[in-house]
Structure formats: structure tokens, C-alpha cells
Homo-oligomer: A and B are copies of this chain.
Amino acid sequence: MQLHLDPSSATPLYAQVVEQVKALVASGGMRVGDQLPSVRDLAVSLRVNRNTAAKAYQMLEAEGVLATRAGHGTFVAAGSSRWSRQERFRRLERLADRLLVEAHHLNIPPAEIASLLERRLHAFEMNRPKSTGKS
């Protein structure tokens, strides 16, 4: 699992780990059932405090992205959102609104937003192994 932390970012280290693990899972860099390094190993390889690594895993578990099997380690969880369809869309809508607001202030027109999103989506899907048919 290859993560790259930016220690001088305003985003806390644990949150960077959360974001990147979610990105890995979303892009297919990690698949359901894959095992993650132990908290201890992760902390060593990222050169962060062990508490930082542990906090990241806790957050990811809380979100349902990872699951810990006692004594066996931490794995990418199968479960997708426990939230209702309405709640899931509400959350995405909030992010979409922030994107649109930011694009407006960065003076980036709608057409360019669309093409940028398509480009990024494509970049994600390049990394994803072929679907097994189970979505």
C-alpha cells in the first residue's frame, strides 16, 4: 500500500491517510478482502506516530471502508454505505455544491468542470482491475 503524506499540508496526517485509503479502494488499487498493514507497520512505513495510524484506521472502520477481524488484522470491507439512498445523495450533493462554488471563484467555466471530471474519472478507471461482474 503506497501512500504519500504531505507533512506541511493543512490536512492532518491521519486525515490524509483516510483520504488516500478511500481513494485507493475507489480506484481499484485495493479490493474488497485485501489486507492492510498492521497499525504498527503502517506507522513505521509512513514515519508517523502509531496513534496517527491507529486513528486513521478507526475513522475508516467507522465509515465502513475497513473492517477489523479480531486477531487477524484489518481488511477492505465489502459493505458499502449503510446510509439511505436519500442520505447518500445528500452527501454527494454537498460535495458537488462545493465543487461548483469553487469552480466559479476559480473562474473555471462549467464546460471545463465537466471535462476535468471526465478526465479524472478516466484516470481512476485506468487503475481499476477488470470488474468481476459483481460491481
Contact = CB atoms under 8 A, between A and B. Distances in A.
Interface in A10-58: 10, 12-13, 19, 22-23, 25-27
A82 B64 CA distance: 14
B101 A22 contact: yes
A104 B131 CA distance: 14
Given A85-B84, A99-B92, A107-B88, A69 B8 contact: yes
A100 B26 contact: yes
| Copies of the protein in its oligomer | 4
Interface string A55-79: 0000000111101111010010101
A116 interface: yes
A78 to B, nearest CB: 9
A70 B12 contact: yes
A100 B88 contact: no
A1 interface: no
A85 B120 CA distance: 17
Contact of A113 (B81, B87, B92, B102): B92
Contacts of A85: 84
